[in-house]
Structure 1
Amino acid sequence: MAARSNPDIDNDAETQSGGVQSVDRALQILEILARKGDAGVSEIAEEMGVHKSTVSRLVGSLVTRELVRQNSERGKYQLGFGILRLASSIPGRLSVVHEAREVLEALAGEYKETVNLAVLRSNYAVNVDQAMGPSTLATYDWVGSLTPLHATSSGKVLLAALTADERTQVFKAVGLPARTPRTVTNRGDLEKQLHDVARQGYAIVHEEFEIGLTAIAVPVFNHLGTVIAAVSISGPAFRFAPEDQPGLIEGLREAGLAISAKMGYRHQ
């Protein structure tokens, strides 16, 4: 004898399915408006492949919640201030140290060297977290250490993200002192390096901060695309050569983007 379906359960399932579909379509509308800036109902419906009445109904709900607003001049829709209220609550809850921890440990495990996370504070690069690789010779704890921006890989990544005027203020405050004979102390030479760092997306230093120490760093971005930190790998110069280690630069870049994604960054 065939099992009889329960009409109440069937109706609930259909309602849930329709509700999930509506939520998915509403999110699609928000993504379209975020990408295009503004769009009309017909334009949105065409891109989504649904009827205009469906888009109109969903947009109406989004307008009610102030997630979408209509441009009175052009009649098109764009993201509303409700989005800002939602988004503004996220950064305060995101800790770059917390979000980066798993990635730092993975890097240290893969490349067997010391991995640090640094942020810009009071004209210095401050190391806020560290993961040690199994091959690390020393056990020095860099967390909390202030390191010069112009002589470290993390510092150069952070400097490259500043404007020229902001860098001038930094150098007026702390100068460009030599830490080793290899430290770049000429502003013009440093600016050329920083241009290359911004262009290629990473910085490498060879014994500029400490004799025998080589390091490479990449930026970490927030949801606005602003550089908020740098993640670096460092090791003894006699064995650690980032340029010669296959896949290391790309692997570190991907790690930086992985942390950035956790902070809300969307890589184009």
Structure 2
Amino acid sequence: MRNRVQHSQRHAPGPDLAEAGEAAVRPEGSGGVQSVDRAVTILEILSQRGEAGVSEVAAEIGVHKSTAFRLLGALEARGLAEQAEDRGKYRLGFGVVRLAAGVAARLDLVQQSRPVCRRLAEEIGETVNIAVARSHYAINLDQVRGQAAVTAYNWVGQPTPLHATSSGKVLLAHLDERRRERLIAAAGLERFTPATVTDAAVLRRQLDEALRRGYAVTAEEYEIGLNAIAAPIRSHEGEVVAAVSASGPAYRFSEERMRELAPVLVAGAADISHRLGHAG
């Protein structure tokens, strides 16, 4: 077994750009990357100053006024910048708020779940993680180590496969069937250990079982010697937005032990859901 005690998880576009703006930000070799870097710098300038004119922006980033105008036009087309009608200067647009909302939601999830994760880690004694689905992976957002998990590997920020981890299976199980099948097909069912499920029919049965009992388990499917159990976390709208898991070495965190602790983890997931506004 690799020396890791993991959580059970491993790995709208805006409106079309105006013609001039599209040319300014489309990455094409090093020039495209430079344009993207300049556009980001402009956003930082507007954030710091509140407002700035084309001449100010051009001087700040060291480009001709026409280039600054095209970049600002591209940002404006995306809603990331807007022009103050009375002064002709530019400021940040509300599109920035839309982008920031995605980060704020994740931060809120971590903040609301952290006290519960600490309690679970203390009660269970193993590593507790929070994960969300991104593309065809589960991404770990937070981790708390239990007393027994002295050498736990830090999985925060790491992508983990949906089909081979307990959190991934929970997240897959609560997708609508069409999206679930699309993700399974796109990701493939890569084998990580002899216990990894690589048969789609078997995986579907496991996902159905996870829905029925309210949690999913994995036994050495992603890491040899590593077992894990996960339960769903719901938003205020009732949608499953994340999973909380507990994981530990198979010799200590056996399948029997996981079944015993399932009610504890499910209750913890419900507590986090309640903190996020879920009334169920």
Q: TM-score under structure 1 normalisation?
A: 0.63
Contact in 2 for aligned 1:243/1:249 (Cα 8 Å): no
The DSSP-based 3-state class of the residue aligned with 2:163 is helix
CA distance in 2, matches of 1:102, 1:259: 9
Question: Aligned AA for 1:131?
Answer: V
Q: Does residue 111 of structure 1 match 2:158?
A: no
Runs of 4+ in 1 over 6 A off after TM superposition: none
1:130-177 Cα deviation digits (max 9, x unpaired) = 000111142310000100000000000000001221112212321110
Q: 1:204 aligns with which of 217, 233, 236?
A: 217
Aligned equivalent of 1:142: 155
Q: Does residue 96 of structure 1 match 2:97?
A: no
Aligned equivalent of 1:235: 248
- Return the offset for 1:214: 0.3
CA distance in 2, matches of 1:228, 1:126: 12
1:197-226 Cα deviation digits (max 9, x unpaired) = 011000010000100000000000011111
Contact in 2 for aligned 1:125/1:147 (Cα 8 Å): yes
CA distance in 2, matches of 1:209, 1:193: 15
The DSSP-based 3-state class of the residue aligned with 2:236 is coil
**Structure 1 206/259 Cα, relative in aligned 2: closer, same or farther at 3 Å?**
same
Structure 2: any 5+ residue segments left out of the alignment? Answer: 1-100
Rg larger in structure: 1
Aligned equivalent of 1:84: none
The DSSP-based 3-state class of the residue aligned with 1:125 is strand
The alignment yields a C-alpha RMSD, in angstroms, of 1.9
- Return the offset for 1:242: 4.9
Contact in 1 for aligned 2:131/2:139 (Cα 8 Å): yes
**Structure 1 166/129 Cα, relative in aligned 2: closer, same or farther at 3 Å?**
same
Aligned equivalent of 1:258: 271
Aligned equivalent of 1:174: 187
Q: How many equivalent pairs are there?
A: 178
CA distance in 1, matches of 2:259, 2:198: 31
Q: Does residue 188 of structure 1 match 2:217?
A: no
Question: Aligned AA for 1:148?
Answer: P
